[in-house]
Structure 1
């Protein structure tokens, strides 16, 4: 197992017309970040120099043409392209989407080859990245294909962790996607992640209902009684501490979430609205279920403030720290697994 002390953090640049480059620059203007990791940005030195000049930053970049040439204690930029790019802050541009894809694909290949240890992705525009060659709703689905994993969107902070049974699915299609097999797979992914990635023994997981008031005994839909409830009972009988379905409307307001190590929401907004309300600016989007670590900030491209030097880098910085922590936790878990006599950590 490689020494994880100075972890190589690969960074995909995201949408160049958004706030991605700004939050990256602001994060690494704090030179103390280089004590924790070696950053490797997949873009181009010309492009990053444009952003440096625009934001009047004192940051310095180490331009390299190959990931293998990156230097410790430097902010490395891998030249994925060399041409000048026309950047217009706040504008949706199909050509800019192509550069976001180039950056992501290059970073992912480096991750697969072990040339970087973790991947942190800046926000993309899910519309302008679409093409015949790249047809994915977002980062999570693309990385699941490339890394052959059962991926799950897992929004995390130290105090709150929310997973999704379904993510980028239209609300009208949610019930048909929540099958017994999916429930079992997604809960297993969250459970395994809590144990390996967050070092929590015997995690407790709450599951939110599909329908209002968990269906009110079939009055407001029968999916909870017919699919969710019996599947959760079966999982619980296997030994996992899984509870629910809980009515979603009062679960967070009553602070019930504090009684659990993670919460599984049935669909995207059911989980992300309360998560971002409670944790916005501190939360991290972690893709659980992959054999590699990927995180991202809990916000989007923010065209409305792009280029105005108003973006807050706190969530992006937290995404880096979370990726580092998960990488180390996995290493420790693997070491402990090879030595079963080693004392396991207490629940945190």
Structure 2
């Protein structure tokens, strides 16, 4: 931590034509948030002034030219651009995509340099953000490249945590993408993040089958019998509490998910449909496995309500809370690890 005890929360503004700016402003309209952290938004004073007036959101802010200049007890806005930007709520535009990337790039650089402690990203449009500099399916892959580590999309609430073996992969390509190496890697990431980021010393992890009814003994596909089961057995033999594969259709409805610290789904919708059904509006997308902490709300740009002052900001607020909690947990874990190594007389 730096001279201030408050955690600096870097915030990328997302697609300006979506609800990102609205949920950011509504979150910090509550001045009590400034007692918890120092928000640093990467956008521009002109743009934020226009949006807050348009949405009638009562929030004062401090414009700064660099994240290192951010002031405690203020809502800080880093001037990433100075030109006037046209905001057309509800429309997908090239201009909005370009400025979403500029904000994300600046926020990520500040995170790498230590000028902010964590990153919370407002929603982007995965189509209009594409450019020579951003050729990724989404935030997760971009941040994995920039920050280093083995990334994993991890959807979290206090009582439900769902990770994905494959995330933004077409359904027709899922089975071929799942290998023993991928399963072992994702289990390793989730096991470590549960320990270091969520204070769970002996995590219990469930894995969902790839096929309906986990293949029904090979009747509905052989991937679960030939790939999933032997790989999970190997992991169990290493000492990890890993269970499955479970039939995905009944796993959540039966309440079985409550018996585990985390669940690993084989593909995007297998995990995110039940997660969002059970927790929509309070869930958080956490990128596990990175060298830095990044969270985001569990929804997209919501063009259909952008500019109408109807957006629910609670998922974004939860993303801020969870990011701060994870940052503190990780600090405690690192300190504990260092103390153990010192006692063992090993070099750190």
User: Normalising TM by the smaller chain, what interval?
Assistant: over 0.9
1:58–1:209 CA distance, 2 compared to 1 (3 A): same
Per the alignment, residue 263 of structure 2 pairs with: 263
Q: Alpha-carbon deviation of 1:338?
A: 1.9
Are positions 1:250 and 2:250 aligned together?
yes
- Distance of 2:3 and 2:227 partners within structure 1: 45
- Distance of 1:57 and 1:216 partners within structure 2: 55
- Distance of 1:169 and 1:193 partners within structure 2: 23
> Secondary structure at 2:135's aligned position in 1?
coil
> Secondary structure at 1:159's aligned position in 2?
coil
1:183–1:60 CA distance, 2 compared to 1 (3 A): same
Residues 264-343 of structure 1 correspond to what in structure 2 (within 5 A)?
A: 264-340=264-340
TM-score, structure 1 normalization: 0.97
> Secondary structure at 1:214's aligned position in 2?
helix
1:338–1:4 CA distance, 2 compared to 1 (3 A): farther
> Secondary structure at 2:290's aligned position in 1?
coil
The answer on whether the counterparts of 1:34 and 1:73 sit within 8 Å (CA) in structure 2 is: yes
Per-residue CA deviation, residues 103-125 of structure 1 (Å, 9 max, x unaligned), is: 00000000011110000000000
Per the alignment, residue 21 of structure 2 pairs with: 21
Per the alignment, residue 54 of structure 1 pairs with: 54
Per-residue CA deviation, residues 286-320 of structure 1 (Å, 9 max, x unaligned), is: 00000100000000000000000000000000000
- Distance of 2:297 and 2:253 partners within structure 1: 24
1:112–1:82 CA distance, 2 compared to 1 (3 A): same
> Secondary structure at 1:195's aligned position in 2?
helix
> Secondary structure at 1:163's aligned position in 2?
strand
- Distance of 1:202 and 1:3 partners within structure 2: 35
Per the alignment, residue 11 of structure 1 pairs with: 11
> Secondary structure at 2:28's aligned position in 1?
helix
1:178–1:4 CA distance, 2 compared to 1 (3 A): farther
Aligned pairs, number = 342
- Distance of 2:129 and 2:117 partners within structure 1: 25
The answer on whether the counterparts of 1:235 and 1:242 sit within 8 Å (CA) in structure 2 is: yes
Per the alignment, residue 170 of structure 2 pairs with: 170
Per the alignment, residue 345 of structure 1 pairs with: none
1:4–1:247 CA distance, 2 compared to 1 (3 A): farther
1:248–1:4 CA distance, 2 compared to 1 (3 A): farther
- Distance of 2:68 and 2:320 partners within structure 1: 21
Q: Alpha-carbon deviation of 1:4?
A: 8.1
- Distance of 1:82 and 1:2 partners within structure 2: 28
1:228–1:3 CA distance, 2 compared to 1 (3 A): farther
Per the alignment, residue 119 of structure 1 pairs with: 119
- Distance of 2:281 and 2:232 partners within structure 1: 32
- Distance of 1:336 and 1:149 partners within structure 2: 21
TM-score, structure 2 normalization: 0.97
The answer on whether the counterparts of 1:195 and 1:202 sit within 8 Å (CA) in structure 2 is: yes
Question: Alignment RMSD, CA only?
Answer: 1.2
Where does the alignment leave 5 or more consecutive residues of structure 2 unmatched? 343-348
1:2–1:85 CA distance, 2 compared to 1 (3 A): closer
Per-residue CA deviation, residues 154-194 of structure 1 (Å, 9 max, x unaligned), is: 00000000000000000000011101111000000000000
> Secondary structure at 2:253's aligned position in 1?
coil
Per-residue CA deviation, residues 18-67 of structure 1 (Å, 9 max, x unaligned), is: 00000011000100000110000000000000011111122011001111
Where does the alignment leave 5 or more consecutive residues of structure 1 unmatched? 343-348
